[in-house]
């Protein structure tokens, strides 16, 4: 695994990298979609409490997404017979379950603090799928509903903090945004190294990913939480005969070599090619962000050790579904090519 980039004593709320991360609750925030002034202010309170408690930005996104699902960012009072038991407030916390008194729970600052206190007790919450982390806190009857709000929650956090949930362009070091190895939106670079070949360049128009240079044996990590949907050896000669992945390939060999496909929330698929040995995951396995998948190698269509990394949208693993990985990962707060192998 990657080592942590910050110590527990680092203040992830301070601005060391040109990003505004200290929320000014006296300002008006732009609307995001159908979320108006009051809802954006409630989201800003959630983020500001996370900052006060030195919760990494990933926690802000999880908290905002949870509040969207539970109350649509409205500080909901008791609804009489329409109420879900005695649930109250932004997070629909229940006095009968020990969250506090009704008056306390109706205070957005108090309810946000209680949410974060419980979240921070969940082992591995930063790398877990948002739904998993939120459900461990909320114990909802609809545990899979949280994930659908992850993208808009990230946008809201970015709007409130001027980009605190993502990198602000190529020049920003990933460590400046994360406060940890996983970005606020739940993504991380799969391997440290420079991009040595780009996406669909003039000389390689059918290159549907990017190549990241790294030494043989370097660890490859899941870019985000998800489920393994493919793991196999793909290496064959130009006439279709099996070449195998027990030896290096070459530019004349076809295929990805040992590779893994992972399906993430929102229909995003990532692909990791040319591993030097069988991957350390299996089809159907759920993985967390940053989990070890395998090691860099040079199997399949490869001229030397590197990771070929692809990103696909809408669950489409064909070339038609491929999108530019560098731009996508920058938007997710985990830019590629920021570290040397």
C-alpha 315/C-alpha 262 separation (Å) is 10
Per-residue model confidence as pLDDT tens for the chain (341 residues): 222 222 233 333 333 333 445 798 988 999 999 999 999 999 999 999 999 999 999 999 999 999 999 999 999 886 555 555 688 999 999 999 999 999 999 999 999 999 999 999 999 898 888 989 999 998 876 667 888 898 899 899 989 998 766 533 323 333 333 333 678 888 999 999 999 999 999 999 999 999 999 999 999 999 999 999 999 999 999 999 999 999 999 999 999 999 999 999 889 999 999 999 999 999 999 999 999 999 999 999 999 999 999 999 999 999 999 999 999 999 888 899 855 44
User: In 296-309, which positions are buried (b, 16+ CB within 10 angstroms) versus exposed (e)?
Assistant: bbbbbbbeebbbbb
For position 134, what pLDDT does the model report?
94
Q: 3-state SS of the chain? A: CCCCCCCCCCCCCCCCCCCCCCCCCCCCCCCECCECHHHHHHHHHHHHHHHHCCCCHHHHHHHHHHHHHHHCCCCCCCCHHHCCCCCECCCCECHHHCCCCHHHHCCHHHHHHHHHHHHCCCCCCCCCCHHHHHHHHHCCCCHHHHHHHHHHHHHHHHHHHCCCCCCCCCCCCHHHHHCCCCCCCCECCCCCCCEEECCCCCCCCCCCCEEEECCCCCEEECCECEEEEEEEEEEECCCCCECCCCCCCCCCCEEEEEEEEEECHHHCEEEEEEECCCCCCCCCCEECCCCEEEEEECCCCCCCCEEEEEEECCCCCCHHHEECHHHHHHHCCCCCCCCCC
Q: Which domains does the chain have, with CATH numbers?
A: 37-178 (1.10.530), 195-331 (2.70.70.10)
Tell me which residue of 281, 278, 340, 274 sits closest to 308, measured CA to CA.
Answer: 274
C-alpha 37/C-alpha 190 separation (Å) is 38
For position 17, what pLDDT does the model report?
38
C-alpha 51/C-alpha 210 separation (Å) is 35
How many C-beta neighbours within 10 Å does residue 5 have? 15
For position 265, what pLDDT does the model report?
85
pLDDT in tens, 38-51: 999 999 999 999 99
Tokens of 79: 């609804």
How many C-beta neighbours within 10 Å does residue 101 have? 11
Taking every pair of Cα atoms in the chain, the longest distance, rounded to a whole number of angstroms, is 73
């Amino acid at each position: 695994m990657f080592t942590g980039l910050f110590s527990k004593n680092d203040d992830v709320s301070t601005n060391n990298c040109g990003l505004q991360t200290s929320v000014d609750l006296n300002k008006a925030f732009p609307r995001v979609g159908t979320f108006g002034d009051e809802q954006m202010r409630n989201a800003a309170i959630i983020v500001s409490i996370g900052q006060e408690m030195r919760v990494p930005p990933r926690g802000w996104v999880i908290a905002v997404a949870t509040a969207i699902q539970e109350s649509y960012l409205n500080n909901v009072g008791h609804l009489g017979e329409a109420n879900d038991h005695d649930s109250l407030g932004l997070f629909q916390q229940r006095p009968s379950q020990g969250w506090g008194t009704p008056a306390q729970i109706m205070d957005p600052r108090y309810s946000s603090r209680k949410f974060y206190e419980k979240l921070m007790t969940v082992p591995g919450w930063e790398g877990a799928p948002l739904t998993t982390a939120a459900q461990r806190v909320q114990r909802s009857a609809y545990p899979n509903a949280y994930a659908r709000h992850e993208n808009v929650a990230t946008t809201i956090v970015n709007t409130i903090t001027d980009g605190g949930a993502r990198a602000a362009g190529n020049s920003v070091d990933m460590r400046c945004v994360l406060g940890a190895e996983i970005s606020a939106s739940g993504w991380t670079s799969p391997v440290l190294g420079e991009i040595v070949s780009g996406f669909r360049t003039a000389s390689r128009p059918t290159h549907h990913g990017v190549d990241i240079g790294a030494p043989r044996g370097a660890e490859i990590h899941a870019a985000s939480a998800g489920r393994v949907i493919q793991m196999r050896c793909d290496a064959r000669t130009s006439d279709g005969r099996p070449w195998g992945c027990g030896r290096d390939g070459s530019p004349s060999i076809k295929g990805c070599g040992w590779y893994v496909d992972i399906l993430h929330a929102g229909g995003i698929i990532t692909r990791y090619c040319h591993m030097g040995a069988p991957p350390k995951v299996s089809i159907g396995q759920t993985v967390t962000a940053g989990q070890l998948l395998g090691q860099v190698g040079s199997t399949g269509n490869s001229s030397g050790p590197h990771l070929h990394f692809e990103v696909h949208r809408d669950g489409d693993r064909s070339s038609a579904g491929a999108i530019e990985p560098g731009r996508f990962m920058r938007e997710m707060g985990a830019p590629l090519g920021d570290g040397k192998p």
